[in-house]
Amino acid sequence: MHLIPTIPGGWNPNAEGVFHIEQTPGDIVFLSAADTEIHSLNNAYREIHQSAANGQSDIPSLRIANLVYLKQELTIDKYVEEVIGEAKLVVCRLLGGRNYYPYLFEAISIICEQKKIPVLFLPGYDAPDIELLNSSTVEANIADTVWKYLCAGGKQNLINGLKYIFKAVFNLQYSFIAPQRIADLFLFHPVKGIISQEEQTVICNNNLPNVVILVYQTHYLADNLEPVYYLAEQLSNSKVNPVIAFVNNLRDQHTCDELFDLLTNRNTRVIDVIINTTSFSIKSLSDKEDDQFIFLKINAPVIQAIFASCTREIWEENLFGLTPTDVAMNIALPEIDGRIITTAVSFKSSLGKDALTDSDLLKYSSHPEGCDVVVEFARKWITLKYKTNQEKNIALIMPNYPNKDSRLANGVGLDTPASIIEILHALQQHAYHVGEFIPANSAELIALITHYVTNDTDTSLYRPYQVSLSVEQFSHHFNQLSSALQQKVTQQWGKPENSPNYNEDAFIIPGFLLGNIFVSIQPSRGYNQDAKAIYHSPDLAPTYAYLAYYFWVNNVFNADAVIHVGKHGNLEWLPGKSVALSKDSCFPAALLNPIPHFYPFIVNDPGEGTQAKRRNHAVIIDHLIPPMTRAESYGALTKLEHLIDEYYEAYNIDPKRTASIKTKIKQLVSEANLETDLQSSVNDIDELLVKLDGYLCELKEAQIRDGLHILGKAPEGDQLIDLLIALHRVPVSGQAGITQSLAKDLQLPFDPLNCDYKEPFSMTGNPLFTDCRIIGDAVEVLELLIRSILTELLSGDSTDSGKLTESMQYQLTTAHCKFILEDTLPKIRLTTKEIGNLLTGLNGYYVPSGSSGAPTRGRLDVLPTGRNFYSVDVRTIPTETAYNLGLKSANLIINRYLQEHGDYPESIGVSVWGTSTMRTGGDDIAQAFALMGVKPVWQMANRRVSDFEIIPLILLRRPRIDVMLRISGFFRDAFPDVISLFNAIVERIAQLDEPLDQNPVRKRFLKEKQEWKDKGVDESKAHKRALFRVFGSKPGAYGAGLQAVIDEKNWQTKEDLAKVYINWSGYAYGSDRIGESAHEVFEKRLSDIQIVMHNQDNREHDILDSDDYYQFQGGMANAVQSIKGEQPAIYFGDHARPENPKVKTLKEELLKVYRSRVINPKWIEGVKRHGYKGAFEMAATMDYLFAYDATTNLVDDFMYEGITQEYLFNEDNREFIEQVNPWALKDMTERMLEAVQRGMWKEPKPETLERLQALFVETEI
């Protein structure tokens, strides 16, 4: 048997282009990844050379190069040939080991062997690497000694190390001393140098706060201390004691314990803030909460100040802000420790080429703007800590979009008004000045908010306002903005007095004061003020009203802390850099001062929360998902269930009754419009019954929300029971799902998580299953039995329960229930930490970090909530688990399309979001890889993606598929390496010598490249454009643009919606990862798309819970249809159960969500428990249903009729909405009438239309 090899990809995650290192040959070539080491070694060599000039002239010449430039094969080949091949000794210090530099290692090994050049391969860390040391071609003791000199570091050690090499390798007569290591941890003073603990105590003023500056020891050894001196000086000027500590590394607990003692002087010195400049993380992704974690023990906020690896010029010109390496090492990994991300405090600057070594030298130079921001941030944290609670000014800000009074206090999965009430009561209990009155409940809160002016511009005409900013104050602060930002605002919005919230020489600020607490809604983004902006300005500058709002919060109210409550606001999405923002060019940095910023945020959305962490220095306080429950059955669906059961009971006994039941079933199916769902006619009753049986079970078992979460409050009663089951339904860490355990205990012949509900089922001898005809019935029995068991266990009365006693015979189920009671339940009850840790942060202390993800998808590690969540190591995307799921899902897509169209698809458009990528490890990207016939290559040790391999067609057994990605703005920011990897795959596939009918990527590449050249485009640009497959928002901008245009009714035709989507999405991110306008190419890609695909990875929300789904999937589908003139296949990937993904049409998913949640009385009663926010949720659902129809034409008349009947005509529901949120009743009525007027609701019943019109008139009065 012959094995067919895969085709290597040749991608390097660290590649940054092909460089030519211009360097003359030398006797010794030294390669290192550390600029600090290169700088120190150059200085050491210079000192030896100067001494040699006085007597010894035979000193070997030295050449030094940074490994960062030796990543591309062409660069390596050139350098090896020109420089290394002419050397007499090569020293390679490989940070990351041999596997991190495979091509370089091989190239050096080969030429050194050929030319008999001795080579030293040395580890980049102070931990031995036997493989590297054994690969050296000099004696082991020489390699080990040189390595020890380098590890010891510093000029004197490097001088002696070079002298040792001269003697040991070149046989020159030099004397030297052994390596002299300095302490791994030590305190330092800018004037005195290394100091003792006693000296530090004397230096510190006991009346001033203490701020630690934590720095890598290598900077001390390289004398690269300019940024440290600057930070220390600015802290001293701010009346703060700087405590400077140098560390070798923070990788083990013993070192951290020593550091704790060093910083706190054995717990006798209070540390108020830590400014941390080290990279990576102390904790690992798998670490559990640990009371001995150093930052928790010190209990001070940890500010991450970044020593950037790029130059200031690159940072200024680059909207990404920092390099992918910096994002990984200095942002993403430090977030694991709960560090608060700020900005760059230093950049590398060139010292030019050293004439002696012919080597490029760099040093770390201070970035004064960044240092000042960090110092001010530290000072504000200290102020927050030492002010009394009575004195603190706290801003509580709620999202508000769309900008209507019906949609105040947004917050995904959160009862935001009720959560604000909980926060206010907690503040009152802790002696914050909340005034004489605080609202007793959310209804009173909303009444107070809407008593004053809101973001609804009409309200400025007739409502009072409590807070305003004078024109003089506004002008003062506006003039302090950079000229670039001022110009963007004035060009977009004209004169300040034209602002809708401008009144009598002042800007009106929505909100009100309760003592020292400001309660408000975040200002409008501005698209409701300029109807044209949505079409042409994805990077719209904020309005004058927006600026005035944050000017007031920062400078008039003088907020000591800001709390943005609920996912998510819009400040972190304003135009600017992705990370390391500048107040001169980035609106988020210009508008929110460096003050403590807290952000209660749903735990299952790491991406969008991470955006606030990285762009607005937020401390996330993650909160629990809403209670989840089974949809169960209701109304006509329940009747049909009973009729089907009756039908089968009578089938062999009473043919006459059977015929009668058939008639009733047909009638009820027609009345409920279930023929659309089942794609079957009532005329074929046998086929209909089989499908109906399974479908009713599927609807019944669907997971839906049962109400909303309230910050700091654990669910109780039925909501608690159902949530516990939902958290354990899927396998977790190798443990089977809870219904799977029960099924095994009962020896059932099927897996309840991977079964066909409509398959026949019979189990004699067990009374539990007497009434079960199909597997779906048996699954329901399992669900109800588990619920009964947990209910009994939580009631605390297990001794008298026959059922419970019986259940304890079930070994696996008993063990599972024990785990729930001992592990999961206590964590759920710790939901109180959400308020507790918010108060901890407001006291100026450290908020513990925790992982993020969808808890019902097996991520119980995200519990308990109330922590400062972090995301993932971006270098592992896609993970192996994600690839396995992506491969299954890709095959399902292909099979579905084959069944429906009789041929393989050639081109698919996939929407990829950063938050779901973080949540899943890259399911969507993995799916795209699998569709193209590609598999990632992971490094063995850390499982990071290092390359890809192409599966040959003979193994793939199908044609490749051309995949276009429409990435979100956050994905662009967070995953630049994944974009690079995807582009490398596209280019490699385009180069394959394969039949064009088997490789549509190559087919389109060749065709389009020639077309561009025929139009006069040069070879390079034509090549680049023909490869574009990754598109997204304009650099610095976010979103797809459709929400505002639909909410504001600012469109006439579907072509208008397509225009907005294309204008917002037509920026290509090619191999250089820099977005460029490529709308013509984007339209060409859209014209080829046959399938529009979107995946959902959990059931903690659905596609009618969020505007993002219709904006991205609906937007793409509508754009394709507008260009092609025909609708593509629109598929939905259900990845909620990773072991069993499903692919269905979007229409099927819309129908499922409509029946299982939208018109389900169980869901409606759940949201009604939340008053105003419940009505908000109903209005939002209606809006999203409408918007999906606007973009896809997939909403049938009966769906409009059904939602209207349930929300607006059901007397109880209508009265509820009218009482708690009358603005929602008006908006919902208008929305349904708009559907009629636009012809989307094609044939409403006359009586329905009449009632809607009458209701509209009523709401207008």
User: What integer pLDDT is reported at residue 798 of this predicted model?
Assistant: 47
Distance CA 1084, CA 1078 (A): 10
What is the per-residue pLDDT across 598-626, written as a single tens digit (0 to 9) for each? 999 999 999 899 999 999 999 999 999 99
What is the per-residue pLDDT across 133-149, written as a single tens digit (0 to 9) for each? 889 999 999 999 999 99
DSSP, collapsed to helix, strand or coil, labels residue 502 as strand
User: What integer pLDDT is reported at residue 348 of this predicted model?
Assistant: 93
What is the per-residue pLDDT across 564-582, written as a single tens digit (0 to 9) for each? 999 989 999 999 999 999 9
User: What integer pLDDT is reported at residue 764 of this predicted model?
Assistant: 82
User: What integer pLDDT is reported at residue 13 of this predicted model?
Assistant: 66
Of 566, 561, 558, the closest CA to residue 597 belongs to 561
User: What integer pLDDT is reported at residue 185 of this predicted model?
Assistant: 96
Mention the CATH class of domain 28-168.
alpha beta
> Is residue 878 within 8 Å of 925, Cβ to Cβ?
yes
Q: Specify the range with the lowest mean pLDDT, choosing from 9-13, 14-18, 170-174, 978-982.
A: 14-18
Residue range 889-896: mean pLDDT, rounded: 98
* Predicted confidence (pLDDT) at residue 520 exceeds the cutoff of 50: yes
User: What integer pLDDT is reported at residue 1070 of this predicted model?
Assistant: 87
Of 146, 127, 264, the closest CA to residue 184 belongs to 127
Q: How far is residue 515 from each of residues 693, 1166, 1216, measured CA to CA in Å?
A: 60, 34, 32
pLDDT band at 1004 (very low <50, low <70, confident <90, very high): very high
Q: How far is residue 462 from each of residues 458, 732, 778, measured CA to CA in Å?
A: 8, 56, 60
pLDDT band at 795 (very low <50, low <70, confident <90, very high): confident
> Is residue 580 within 8 Å of 322, Cβ to Cβ?
yes
Distance CA 423, CA 98 (A): 53
Distance CA 1202, CA 1208 (A): 10
> Is residue 527 within 8 Å of 1048, Cβ to Cβ?
yes
Residue with tokens 């201390």: 225
pLDDT band at 4 (very low <50, low <70, confident <90, very high): low
- Sign of torsion over alpha carbons 992, 997, 1001, 1007: positive
Residue range 1171-1198: mean pLDDT, rounded: 98
Query: Can you say whether residue 743 is alpha, beta or left, with left for phi > 0 and alpha for psi between -120 and 50 degrees?
Result: alpha
Give start and end residues of each alpha helix (H) in 494-604.
533-536, 544-551, 587-591
pLDDT band at 538 (very low <50, low <70, confident <90, very high): confident
| Residue ranges of E strands in 944-1007 | 945-950, 962-967
pLDDT band at 808 (very low <50, low <70, confident <90, very high): low
User: To the nearest 10°, the Cα dihedral for 1136, 1139, 1143, 1148?
Assistant: -50
Distance CA 888, CA 524 (A): 43
Of 936, 1089, 937, the closest CA to residue 1000 belongs to 1089
Chain mean pLDDT for the chain: 93
H or E element, residue 882: helix 880-901
Residue range 448-457: mean pLDDT, rounded: 95
H or E element, residue 1250: helix 1246-1260
Distance CA 183, CA 77 (A): 40
Give the count of beta carbons closer than 10 Å to the beta carbon of residue 1040: 26
Is the N-terminal amide bond of 864 cis, ω within 30° of 0? Answer: yes
What is the per-residue pLDDT across 669-690, written as a single tens digit (0 to 9) for each? 999 999 999 988 878 888 888 8
Intervals of CATH 3.40.50 along the chain:
28-168, 185-380
User: What integer pLDDT is reported at residue 800 of this predicted model?
Assistant: 38
Side chain identity at 207, as an amino acid letter?
Answer: N
Is the N-terminal amide bond of 301 cis, ω within 30° of 0? Answer: no
User: Which of the residue ranges 335-339, 766-770, 1135-1139 has the most confident prediction, judged by mean pLDDT?
Assistant: 335-339
Query: What whole-number percentage of the chain has pLDDT above 90?
Result: 84
User: What integer pLDDT is reported at residue 283 of this predicted model?
Assistant: 87
Distance CA 174, CA 163 (A): 6
* Predicted confidence (pLDDT) at residue 653 exceeds the cutoff of 90: no
Residue range 617-640: mean pLDDT, rounded: 97
| Residue ranges of E strands in 190-256 | 193-195, 210-216, 241-247
Give the count of beta carbons closer than 10 Å to the beta carbon of residue 96: 17
Of 622, 557, 627, the closest CA to residue 394 belongs to 557
What is the per-residue pLDDT across 1088-1127, written as a single tens digit (0 to 9) for each? 999 999 999 999 999 999 999 999 999 999 999 999 999 9
pLDDT band at 725 (very low <50, low <70, confident <90, very high): very high
Q: Specify the range with the lowest mean pLDDT, choosing from 337-346, 680-689, 814-823.
A: 680-689
User: What integer pLDDT is reported at residue 325 of this predicted model?
Assistant: 86
User: What integer pLDDT is reported at residue 126 of this predicted model?
Assistant: 80
Query: What whole-number percentage of the chain has pLDDT above 70?
Result: 97
> Is residue 1182 within 8 Å of 1107, Cβ to Cβ?
no
Distance CA 1038, CA 1040 (A): 7
| In CATH, 185-380 is 3.30.70 | no
Q: Specify the range with the lowest mean pLDDT, choosing from 48-57, 208-217, 285-294, 1196-1205.
A: 48-57
* Predicted confidence (pLDDT) at residue 16 exceeds the cutoff of 80: no
User: What integer pLDDT is reported at residue 801 of this predicted model?
Assistant: 37
pLDDT band at 220 (very low <50, low <70, confident <90, very high): very high
User: What integer pLDDT is reported at residue 247 of this predicted model?
Assistant: 96
DSSP, collapsed to helix, strand or coil, labels residue 571 as helix
What is the per-residue pLDDT across 497-509, written as a single tens digit (0 to 9) for each? 999 999 989 999 9
DSSP, collapsed to helix, strand or coil, labels residue 1086 as helix
pLDDT band at 804 (very low <50, low <70, confident <90, very high): very low
* Predicted confidence (pLDDT) at residue 921 exceeds the cutoff of 60: yes
* Predicted confidence (pLDDT) at residue 594 exceeds the cutoff of 80: yes
Tokens read off for 954: 């003979």
